[in-house]
Amino acid sequence: MKTREQIVVELAKSIGFDLVGISDANELNDHIKNSLAAYELNYLEGIPWLNKERLIKGGSPDQLLHSPKSVIVVGVNYKKHKDDSYSTSDSNGRIAMYAQWEDYHLVIKKMLNEYKENLQKELSIKIDGRIFVDDGSLLEKGFAEKAGLGWFGKHTNLINSVYGSWIFLGALITDIELVPNEPVKKNCGKCELCIIECPTNAIVSPYQLDANKCISFLTIENRGAIPYDLRPLMGDWIFGCDICQDICPVNDKIDISQNTTFIEKTTSYLDLVGILYMSQEEFSTRFSKSPIKRTKLRGLQRNACVALGNTKQKEAIPALIDTLKNNQSELVRGHSAWALGEIDTPECQNALKISLEYENDPFVLDEINRALPVK
């Protein structure tokens, strides 16, 4: 006769989860402490919904469910083949690997709801439980570590010995009494490549990330202007960033995902000029059910401008001039001015000077004046 724990694991695998582990529902004291330290140091300043109350709640299952007994944590490997056709000589912008798939929040939630229903039928009990997929209060990575799915990397991602850090996580807090798994006894050792290679120095120390400097935050969650001093450090990333994962030695050995649950939504790059000319309707249609919708059209166009400024694509100058003149968003116009200043040809400088005659937004005017050479 199968144990409850065996049923929990087998059902999860049958639905399509690559990883499944069980944690008790006690507080995550170390992870709460680490999160509160980041909060006190203003590393989460740009993410206002991550306040003290929410961080404490995230590591406290008893604040998320009445009488929780266990946390079932699941994971899906999302690594895909890298696109060999990508070239930095073209006007392309990079997309983080996770965002090339259908939005994992939608897919994992659907899978977890199915899992919960199947678990109730298989165990012949009514389950009181709550589902979390990286958009609620729960600190999934902390419970995943406790459930034995991997170790907490110095870049703050979970690392699994089989799938590396290319993992979508989800969790089910439940009132089922289950025998928990043991945490793994691995760690990053002396390796600090992710800290060394982060271009914005966002990984300020092992296990501590300053979200305000992270390229993923800057290109997605940040709704305003990208800080002036960070723009040149962002390279050609326009949605998310994989640098700390690409450099991780564990990830060198990871096989491509065989999971067929997720639908590929885009390639590893997007045409930057095409983004600048994209309409709201085109954006909504192209990125339906894609994580890229989170940054909104103006955010993606802002990011495209920064990438073009960094790669200095002269072929994109006409598009940047059109954007400076005609885009309805002052955020995008301002960043197009910055990009023209970075490319810095006579055509760029002339367009910036002309724009002073018709532009009246203070932010854009400041960007134009910064982009013009000092007299």
Q: What number of other Cβ atoms are within 10 A of residue 81's Cβ? A: 8
DSSP H helices, 255-329, are 272-276, 280-286, 296-311, 317-326
**Distance spanning both ends of the chain, measured CA to CA:** 83
- Strand 129-132 with 92-95, pairing: unpaired
Contacts of 328 (CB under 8 A, 6+ apart): none
Residue 90 annotated among the catalytic residues of the structure: no
Measure the CA–CA gap between 264 and 258, rounded to whole angstroms. Answer: 13
**Quick count: other Cβ atoms within 10 Å of Cβ 182?**
9
| Distance separating alpha carbons of residues 83 and 100, to the nearest angstrom | 11
Tokens found for residue 375: 């007299």
How far, CA to CA in Å, does 365 sit from each of 323, 352, 373? 14, 10, 14
Catalytic, out of 134, 175, 271, 322: 134
| DSSP code, position 73 | E
Instruction: Work out the angle at residue 213's Cα, subtended by the Cα atoms of residues 210 and 216, and round it to the nearest 5 degrees.
Output: 100
Give just the sign of the alpha carbon dihedral 325, 326, 329, 331. negative
CA-wise closest residue to 66 among 112, 125, 126, 128: 128
The phi and psi torsions of 239 (rounded to 5 degrees) equal -155, 105
d(CA 30, CA 224): 33
- The upper half-sphere exposure of residue 331, i.e. CA atoms within 13 Å in the direction of its Cβ, equals 16
Residues catalogued as catalytic: 134
